[in-house]
Amino acid sequence: MSQNIERHEFQSEAKQVLELMINSVYSNPDIFLRELISNASDALDKLRIESLSNANLSDLATDGEIRIKIDKESKTLTITDNGIGMERDDLVSYLGTIARSGTKEFIKAMNEAASSKNDEFIGQFGVGFYSSFIAADKVIVETKKAGSDSSWIWESEGDGSYTIREGDRVSNGTSVVLHMKEIDKDNESSKDYLSEWTLRGIIKQYSDFVTYPIFLEDISKEKKEEDKKEETKEEPVNSMKALWTRPETEVSEEDYKEFYRHITHDWEDPLERITYKAEGSSEFSALLYIPSRPPADLFFQEGKHGIQLYIRRVFIMSDCRELIPEYLRFIKGVVDSEDLSLNISREILQQDRQTVMIKNNLTRKVLETLKKMKAEKPDEYKKFWQTFGTVLKEGIISDTKNREQIMKLCLLDNSRGEKTTLEEYVSRMAVGQKNIYYITGGPVKNLEISPKLEGFKKKNIEVLLLGDAVDEVWVNHARKFDEHEFLSISQEDLALPEGSEFDSGEGKEELEKTGFISKLKESLANMVEDVKISTRLVDSPACFVQKGEPISPQMRNFFRSMGQEVPEEKKVLEVNPSHPLIKKIAADTEDGSADIAEWANVLMGLAAICEGEPVEDGKKFTRLITKLLDK
């Protein structure tokens, strides 16, 4: 075996985390063990998953276990698994850099916590493998990837660099050898992590539900002597009792939270927990969570999505997309089926009747939970909506069966500056109002100042401000809510509630007499479809509306970027007859003192600006404005 030792530098973020680990007075140092056990358990899961598609590995994937060895003489604690193991390159990319998505946030939070001496807060976090350096001053990882011929040894004192050399491990899996720090005798709460009793307590507290047996063994000399006297059968420390199979009354909230941390690696508590047990034709239990913060990959096509599938308490796969619809991809948790076959593959899952049934049941249960949350815990629901509302709205498009129910869960912005539900909107509708009015095309902060709202505000008719890109799509799919059709206020011809028709305001008749409108139309002939006298404007001089089906500029760009054809935009410029600027231009055009072509361009620019849209030719617009102001 060659003794070629490579030395590598940690990536700078990893260095930062390591430094914090080594120096911080960690309020809860115990968590290092939880993190290492969790990594070992993940490695065993990964081997199981691999073995489903690689028959060569199936023998290796049977008796998964985690062994923790105490050696008081050498002051080491070793955590060993017979899981997937790592290749040389894995060691560099997994243990030399930080791949965890939330790390930047973590470093920030950590620095803040350190400066405010709030180490309670620090204690909530786990930073995976790097947590080893809370308890150890030297860490050695011996590993062999399942199916590979070579094994590797990674070693570091957490001081900015690590080494990798070839090892002589024969079986697949990983051992993490921790050379423990001296116990801090001046600190009363400092624990001896080489004490079997201490470790037992920690494993029970944090890792009891891990589905592989965790064996704890003290190989120190004195201990061995003792053991010789009484040969006892080895028992795992953890009960391996799947939390989801136990009655809710027997499981503490802290255990549920700990389990959530175990499966998600999230350090914040979940927002909500959902337990479900289906009996009858399809038997399964589920333990699901709604996280309180979004994962970084929520909007990535390749993002992790879905829940863990167990079959009769045996872990089968993670990210099982077949069990939960795409629009509930933020849900985390476990489903344990009694009926599926143990050697199920993804392909079979996709067509399986049971899977469809589980998915439908879970969808119903999650939507019910959200409904309840909305009614009973409005503040938490608001937080949920802020975090995942945009994703949930996708369900209005894709899940026609539950469409109505998802629509009822929406919290939407309105023209009164509030958040409203559709039901509340309907309950406030004016006498004679049949439609639900809405505006799309840009963030809410742009929509709320749109000139198109002016007439509605004056008549006290509520308009929904739909600021998410997905909004325009779902209103078009749903078409109506509770028999009330959605109507975009960007349409040229607007059906208004009977008795609430907009009055055109003074100035209409005079303007009609002048021929100003036809002159404007002539000079904008190839830029707009039509020019009209507006009834919907109050304070603004002009705005754009659309002939036919209104599609916002944002939506047009989106469709084009997807390579789809979009019907040509038919813009109509509406001018406000009672606005002093319009009156003045009309009069000046009439007596020949104004150049209509120039003014027409200015009005186009102003209409765009009022909507928060860019002016088509900004340079020309500025030149014209300057010139006109000069006059």
Residues that bind ligand ADP (CB under 6 A): 35, 39-40, 43, 81, 83-86, 94-95, 100, 128-130, 174, 265
Asked if 40 and 206 count as a contact pair (C-beta separation under 8 A), the reply is no
Q: Please identify, using beta-carbon distances, which residue of 66 and 409 lies nearer to ligand ADP.
A: 66
Query: Distance between CA 257 and CA 289 in Å, rounded?
Result: 9
CB of 151 to ligand ADP, least distance (A): 13
In order, the DSSP letters of 341-392 are -TT--HHHHHH-HHHHHHHHHHHHHHHHHHHHHHHH-HHHHHHHHHHHHHHH
CB of 102 to ligand ADP, least distance (A): 9
Phi, psi torsion values for 200, nearest 5 degrees: -55, -45
Q: Which residues of 244-261 are buried (b: 16+ CB within 10 A; e: fewer)?
A: bebeeeebeeebbebbbb
CB of 42 to ligand ADP, least distance (A): 6
Q: What's the DSSP call for residue 491?
A: B
Q: Please identify, using beta-carbon distances, which residue of 261 and 583 lies nearer to ligand ADP.
A: 261
Q: Please identify, using beta-carbon distances, which residue of 84 and 624 lies nearer to ligand ADP.
A: 84
Q: How far is CA 336 from the centre of its chain?
A: 24
CB of 160 to ligand ADP, least distance (A): 17
Q: Please identify, using beta-carbon distances, which residue of 100 and 571 lies nearer to ligand ADP.
A: 100
Query: Distance between CA 545 and CA 530 in Å, rounded?
Result: 10
CB of 229 to ligand ADP, least distance (A): 34
Helix (H) or strand (E) holding 427: helix 422-427
Q: Please identify, using beta-carbon distances, which residue of 43 and 320 lies nearer to ligand ADP.
A: 43
The β-bridge relationship of strands 151-156 and 136-144 is antiparallel
CB of 491 to ligand ADP, least distance (A): 51
CB of 41 to ligand ADP, least distance (A): 9
CB of 318 to ligand ADP, least distance (A): 12
- Quote the radius of gyration of the chain (alpha carbons, Å): 33
For ligand ADP, the nearest residue by Cβ is 128
CB of 403 to ligand ADP, least distance (A): 37
Q: Please identify, using beta-carbon distances, which residue of 158 and 577 lies nearer to ligand ADP.
A: 158
In order, the DSSP letters of 577-625 are TT-HHHHHHHHHHHTT-S-HHHHHHHHHHHHHHHTTPPPTTHHHHHHHH
Closest C-alpha among 498, 503, 537, 531 to residue 517: 531
Q: Please identify, using beta-carbon distances, which residue of 300 and 609 lies nearer to ligand ADP.
A: 300
Asked if 122 and 29 count as a contact pair (C-beta separation under 8 A), the reply is no
Query: Distance between CA 177 and CA 5 in Å, rounded?
Result: 18
Q: Please identify, using beta-carbon distances, which residue of 130 and 437 lies nearer to ligand ADP.
A: 130
Q: Please identify, using beta-carbon distances, which residue of 142 and 218 lies nearer to ligand ADP.
A: 142
